[in-house]
Structure 1
């Protein structure tokens, strides 16, 4: 575990907002020099941009495009970074019983919901049909028309990488806000720990705004269909189990974890599972916590969180 260093009395928080990966990123670093902070921002932006290109499915040199294009045909040799990300994604899929799933069916394919054969094809398109070979460093999508996307955990991974390069550059304290998902390390000026509200001023009115999140990540998923009995499978960025779960009483789910990638990946699955099943899952995990707010603004927390 990284040691928390004392912040200089002259230190302040420098912030830079930039649009990357289709979302608003805000990068905050604690230091004394504006010029130093500008160099830090450039370093973080360059890394996030690198990850965005790495995870893109566009371009002939795109590894993801090659994997998708070879679906049902042959395995594709991938670079170690992509392989590890896919492997971790599969582990989360297994952990959530398919609630998190990086696979989808290619747009433009003829799979009308009224067709029994077509429905079978869609059902077969899931994480269990991704074959990874650690020795050969290959990835194979068994079903023709299968695709993979990191829409649900890509921003979290990019935030983790930005934090990593900033720490290498000597940034001992900071925050990466990736579209409302937070990743913090170190302390605020005055040697105060980061809280949800301190890391993101827009969340001051949240019932868990005072929760300490120094050296942690927080990702929030909001239920935009409060009156629905199940989350629509076609909702962008939402991954649901094949049979669906009632979610009408959930307003939002916030996952706290040691990495933004894990928090980002777990938020929507817990939202889709409902209060009891979601908390039961989180309570089985190490270094993962959850705060659930229902449509009456009642707060439910996993066993590792206490909110006054």
Structure 2
């Protein structure tokens, strides 16, 4: 997930001279190892800042539950006990895992939270100097498979059947956090704002001037240009992309989005943007379509008319679902 792919146009607005004065305050924070941006519309700066504090606290709470790299998290405990025993978790974590498995079944494994077992094979932090061998990849994907994740709803437990298995919420976790941040603000009566969880964005309400939020989808071949501008009210938009985080061997580029079935990076698609009511669901779709490709991805989206998508191929073609609304170029320059 690449935050540069979704750009909010015009962050801050102040209309102090109006009868119903509103301000929009923006704050960048680091959560879940990534940059998050939170914008809240409120009557005063003080109120807006207080609401932002609440969103940050909620997202930190979620991070403490599901971040597999935090040894104190419930998911880290599940991973440590892979092949040993089931681990009791909070119902919230259980339900998030259950929804993730739904995506795995829906996509025949193109989306799979047990991909985390491959984290030592492919590295995209600059430390990777040689291509993984076919034997290494074969051994890694032996530990990948959503079919080996066992859920017990009555006991509220997760059991990973194979030793060495790992699950991670690097995809849907940020979308879930964005949804929860928006939900919390709406419960508190906040009329408008944006929660951008490293590219998984939720919006609600309007700018203080009554206009919709404007979000630009970055051209993956030229980050100074937009493919299109989206006008959002109560919406969610996510982008999964392979054009910034990758490694190269023998002149061939390998992206960070791995096909859980083959163990090799997904090919053919540079970015997928999905728009709909939920960032969690939108992220599940955008990640899945990166692996499935345009044809199967569009067929999947057709089953969910509340969601629409824009796909950019590695050849520069822009493909949109039939229900996509917005200005869109047919071909990137």
TM-score range, shorter chain: 0.7 to 0.9
Q: Deviations over 1:94-119 (max 9, x none)?
A: 1121111111327679xx85559x83
Equivalent in 261, 269, 273 of residue 242 of structure 1: 261
8 Å CA contact 1:102–1:148 kept in 2: the answer is: yes
Equivalent in 308, 323, 329 of residue 289 of structure 1: 308
Equivalent in 274, 290, 300 of residue 319 of structure 2: 300
Residue 184 of structure 1 corresponds to 203
Q: Distance in 2 between matches of 1:204 and 1:189?
A: 27
Q: How far apart are 1:124 and its partner, in Å? A: 5.1
* Residues 133 and 34 (structure 1), Cα distance of their counterparts in 2 relative to 1, 3 Å cut: same
TM-score by length of 2: 0.77
Residue 56 of structure 1 corresponds to 67
Equivalent in 39, 49, 52 of residue 38 of structure 1: 49
8 Å CA contact 2:266–2:290 kept in 1: the answer is: no
How many equivalent pairs are there?
290
Match runs of 1:95-106 below 5 Å: 95-103=106-114, 104-105=116-117
Q: Deviations over 1:196-244 (max 9, x none)?
A: 249xxxx8942221x333211111112226999x985xx54x2424147
* Residues 282 and 152 (structure 1), Cα distance of their counterparts in 2 relative to 1, 3 Å cut: same
C-alpha RMSD of the superposition: 3.1
Match runs of 1:1-308 below 5 Å: 10-57=21-68, 61-103=72-114, 104-105=116-117, 113=133, 115=135, 119=138, 122-123=141-142, 125-197=144-216, 205-209=225-229, 211-224=230-243, 232=254, 235-236=255-256, 238-243=257-262, 247-248=267-268, 250-295=269-314, 297-308=316-327
Secondary structure at the counterpart of residue 142 of structure 2: helix
Q: How far apart are 1:296 and its partner, in Å? A: 5.4
Q: Distance in 2 between matches of 1:8 and 1:292?
A: 44
8 Å CA contact 1:100–1:239 kept in 2: the answer is: no
* Residues 246 and 73 (structure 1), Cα distance of their counterparts in 2 relative to 1, 3 Å cut: closer
8 Å CA contact 1:231–1:240 kept in 2: the answer is: no
Q: How far apart are 1:191 and its partner, in Å? A: 2.1
8 Å CA contact 1:89–1:101 kept in 2: the answer is: yes
8 Å CA contact 2:305–2:323 kept in 1: the answer is: no
TM-score by length of 1: 0.83
Q: How far apart are 1:193 and its partner, in Å? A: 2.3
Q: Give the structure with the higher percent strand.
A: 2
Q: How far apart are 1:59 and its partner, in Å? A: 5.9
Secondary structure at the counterpart of residue 206 of structure 1: strand
Deviates more, 1:271-280 or 1:54-63: 54-63
Residue 3 of structure 1 corresponds to none
* Residues 61 and 252 (structure 1), Cα distance of their counterparts in 2 relative to 1, 3 Å cut: closer
- Which ranges in structure 2 are unaligned for 5 or more consecutive residues? 1-17, 122-131, 218-222, 328-333
8 Å CA contact 1:197–1:204 kept in 2: the answer is: no
Q: How far apart are 1:86 and its partner, in Å? A: 0.4
Q: How far apart are 1:160 and its partner, in Å? A: 1.3
8 Å CA contact 1:130–1:142 kept in 2: the answer is: yes
